[in-house]
Amino acid sequence: MKNKAIGVFDSGLGGLTAVKELVKCLPCENIVYFGDTGRVPYGTRSKETIIKYAAQDAKFLLSHNVKMIIAACGTVSSVASSLGESLPVKFTGVLEPTALACANATQSGHVAILGTSATINSHSYKKLLEKINPDLKVYEQDCPLFVPLVENGFTDKNDIIVRSVIERYVSQFKDTQIDTIILGCTHYPLLKAAIGEALGENVKLIDSGYETALYTKKLLEEQNLISDRNTEGVREFYVSDTPHNFEVVAGRFLGKDMKSTATRIDIENY
Q: Please give the positions annotated as active site.
A: 73, 185
User: Total residues contacting ligand DGL (rule CB under 6 A)?
Assistant: 16
The residue within the footprint of ligand DGL, chosen from 80, 114, 185, 220 (CB under 6 A), is 185
The answer to whether residue 186 forms part of the interface with ligand DGL (CB under 6 A) is yes
Q: How far is the CB of 74 from ligand DGL (least distance, A)?
A: 3
> 112: how many CB neighbours lie within 10 A of its CB?
24
CA distance 183 to 192: 8
Strand ranges for the chain from DSSP E: 6-10, 31-35, 68-71, 90-92, 110-115, 137-142, 180-183, 204-207, 235-239, 262-264
The answer to whether residue 10 forms part of the interface with ligand DGL (CB under 6 A) is yes
Q: How far is the CB of 13 from ligand DGL (least distance, A)?
A: 8
Q: How far is the CB of 72 from ligand DGL (least distance, A)?
A: 7
Q: Count Cα neighbours of 124 within 13 Å in the Cβ-side half-sphere.
A: 29
User: How many Å separate Cα 92 from the centre of its chain?
Assistant: 11
CA distance 158 to 140: 26
Residue placing its CB nearer to ligand DGL in the complex, 115 or 243: 115
CA distance 41 to 151: 9
Residue placing its CB nearer to ligand DGL in the complex, 108 or 242: 242
Q: How far is the CB of 148 from ligand DGL (least distance, A)?
A: 9
Q: Residue 6 — φ and ψ, nearest 5°?
A: -90, 130
The answer to whether residue 125 forms part of the interface with ligand DGL (CB under 6 A) is no
Binders of ligand DGL among 44-83, rule CB under 6 A?
A: 73-75
Residue placing its CB nearer to ligand DGL in the complex, 30 or 116: 116
Residue placing its CB nearer to ligand DGL in the complex, 213 or 225: 213
Q: Residue 187 — φ and ψ, nearest 5°?
A: -70, -30
Positions touching ligand DGL (CB under 6 A) are: 10-11, 14, 40-43, 73-75, 116, 119, 147, 185-187
